[in-house]
Chain A
């Protein structure tokens, strides 16, 4: 891009690309109004002390200093969140792709049915609460009842109160919920691949399904793979709801506390919106870093 543009040149550019801007305008007007503006305002709020009643008071970097240096609970939350993301992120991403790939060649009606069954946890609201019955902490909980009957344990285990099991259980439930947005995007992506590429590949000496997957399928759907990565990273770092409903809020010893539950604590209970905004900003930076790293890895696919 040229560094200095005269107004006339800008006008000319606008006239030539008129069609582009007309197509962009309606969406981006709404996007700026209801997404960009609120995010920018909350970035600003992160440098203030704001209790939702008085006018925000400018405090500079205080919120961030307090968050990173003085807040022990936040460090626990960061540790838990990273543990979650490191396990559920990659596992769910691969699961989304593998299942999409496996059901890709089924006839449309059957594929729609199996897709529905796999997608069911994502479409059924807070149905993950049935896991509460499974992991109930007395001998009536399904898992305890089963283990006692088979003689593995003598007395019920407090699954959702014991700090040793909490995190693992939430991970299982989170994985169970994870065949969502990215999964459907992969299915659609696989359907969009040009079939003639496979014929050309066969001529070029592709021998088995694995080679076909690596040299044709994956590179052809790189845009969807990028999309899926962003979605899975964002959801695995933003885990909160499952933790709140299953392990309680706050959980025993903060063992299932995550960055977002910490944010909810300050944003919706203590009404320290400035501090909550600072937490959101830190989380944003973490997600951004992870995404940049992942995108770099994904560029290597199919080479």
Chain B
């Protein structure tokens, strides 16, 4: 904080510029926030307001009807609604935790060690981001059934451990850690695993906090794999159950609006908690090259 004040004084930013910046960011933010406002407002609209034409952006007579209807629909479903919530929650938390740990562990040697095949492994990860997932569905299913994972939690959690994005992100951040620091740890007798866990990971905290957002959001919202690999009702995820409501047609429009809001609350909470923790780790750790 002290440094930041010093810095802004040094670079003498003027008040008009600050006001201009505020206006630019403010107008961009309100433009981008449209969907949030729309989804929140829609969830509280009574049926007649949802279908009114011309459509209205804001709700006039807010009501909780949509949420009651939703409860009603799920009160006579095959498995209790809480089971879908548990499934999604379990998959998102387990998948995210595994992905962050495994991808970081693999990113560390790729960023800081020298060994055979390093370039090739990293190139494969980056290249895999460019291949369209639409055509890999069938080979993917074959691999899954060969491993006996079809219709298990494993089919949704284990592939999430190996997503390419996390490894790429973590490797890019770990590259910035000064080698001298790691060398010092080795001289002090720390093992590679200890160095990784107690020195490297704390230094790239902004990176894995960001990765938690990506991974959690991906596993929480639309889980494409669930539609491919799961057929037991009790293993289905929340978004799968919701898409079944959606299939109920136009009469279900109200509950669907409620669903959109409910689905959004958890990722947004995760987002706010992690984002406000993305703080200047390198400057506070007091280490430099």
Contact = CB atoms under 8 A, between A and B. Distances in A.
Q: Which of B35, B105, B116 has its CB near the most chain A CB atoms (within 10 A)?
A: B35
A41 B53 CA distance: 50
Interface in B233-289: 260, 263-264, 267-268, 271-272, 275-283, 288-289
A34 B158 contact: yes
A54 to B, nearest CB: 13
Interface string A27-70: 11111011111110110010000001000000000000000000
A21 B108 CA distance: 11
Interface in B172-212: 172-173, 175-176, 191-193, 196, 204, 206-207, 209-210
Contacts of A117: 29-30, 32-33, 36
Nearest to A39: B131
A31 B125 contact: yes
Interface residues of A, number: 96
A112 B3 CA distance: 20
B89 interface: no
Nearest to B217: A123
Nearest to B38: A130
A75 interface: no
A187 interface: yes
A273 B138 contact: yes
A277 interface: yes
A303 interface: no
A116 interface: yes
Q: Is the interface of B mostly helix, strand, loop or mixed?
A: helix
Interface stretch (A85-93, A160-168, A222-230): A222-230
Interface in A105-147: 105, 108-109, 111-121, 123-125, 127-128, 130, 133, 140, 142, 145
A234 interface: yes
A125 B222 contact: yes
B35 A33 contact: no
Interface stretch (B4-12, B59-67, B70-78): B4-12
A191 interface: yes
Contacts of A108: 276-279
A238 interface: yes
Given A188-B278, A191-B281, A208 B159 contact: no
A187 B278 contact: yes
A125 B55 contact: no
Given A109-B276, A267-B134, A119 B271 contact: yes
Contact of B21 (A102, A196, A208, A273): A102
A29 B105 CA distance: 13
B183 to A, nearest CB: 15
A30 B39 contact: no
16 contacts: A26-B105, A29-B162, A33-B143, A42-B131, A114-B29, A116-B272, A121-B35, A124-B39, A127-B38, A140-B55, A184-B210, A184-B214, A192-B280, A194-B288, A227-B172, A260-B132
Q: Which 6 A-B pairs have the closest CB atoms?
A: A127-B35, A30-B162, A27-B106, A223-B172, A188-B206, A38-B139
